[in-house]
Amino acid sequence: MNANRGMYIEELVNRTNSYYYDRNIAIIEKRYLPIKIIKNLSPNTIVGKLLAKSYVDYCGVFKSQHIEFETKQTNESNFNLNLIKEHQLRHLINAMNHGAKSFLIVYFNAIDKIYLIKTSDIINWIKVNKSKTIKFEYIKDNCQEIDISYPGIIDYLKFL
């Protein structure tokens, strides 16, 4: 089960990014883990070594603006910030501090809703609430719900 964690939202984002690219709207790319292949066990199986911590899932450019974001999926109704690795949150904050648009796209599996949560909203939540769990009410009231449109596109750029 853990192997497919986050795959639904990543598939939607990948499809959306292809849509954006094909229509010359934005260039947003998926970052992959830096892995050194040590040994091929079979045509479909390798042994590898992680060369470095990855930053966030996606980066790109939209209307001359740099973008950095991470995708997450949760079965909970609230969003636990422990789902974001410390170095990823630090990277989102640094990107924001350097003028980039940085955010999370979170799929709430239990209620079948997707939200864009800006890094600034995460920082505000932590400062005010001193909690690592963002309540869904805060997300609903302060963040942007992203609808899925045909053919499986989530137009998140309209919120930037």
Question: Cα–Cα–Cα angle for 31, 65, 119, nearest 5°?
Answer: 70
With beta carbons less than 8 A apart as the criterion, state whether 62 and 25 touch.
yes
Cα distance between residue 117 and residue 102, in whole Å: 9
Q: Which two tokens stand for residue 116?
A: 């864009």
Going by C-alpha positions, the residue among 148, 26, 149, 136 that lies closest to residue 75 is 136
Looking at 81-134, which runs of residues are DSSP E strands? 101-108, 113-118, 133-134
CA distance 109 to 74: 6
What does the pLDDT read at residue 155? 97
**Of 114, 119, 120, which Cα lies nearest the Cα of 140?**
114
Res 81: pLDDT: 96
Say what the pLDDT of residue 54 is: 67
> CA angle 87-60-138, nearest 5°?
60
Contact indicator for 115, 106 with CB cutoff of 8 Å: yes
Q: Render each residue's pLDDT in the chain as its tens digit; 160 residues.
A: 344 455 899 999 999 999 999 999 999 999 977 677 878 888 888 887 766 676 899 999 999 999 999 999 999 999 999 999 999 999 999 999 999 999 999 999 999 999 999 999 999 999 999 889 999 999 999 999 999 998 899 999 999 9
The structure's pTM equals: 0.87
pLDDT at 57: 93
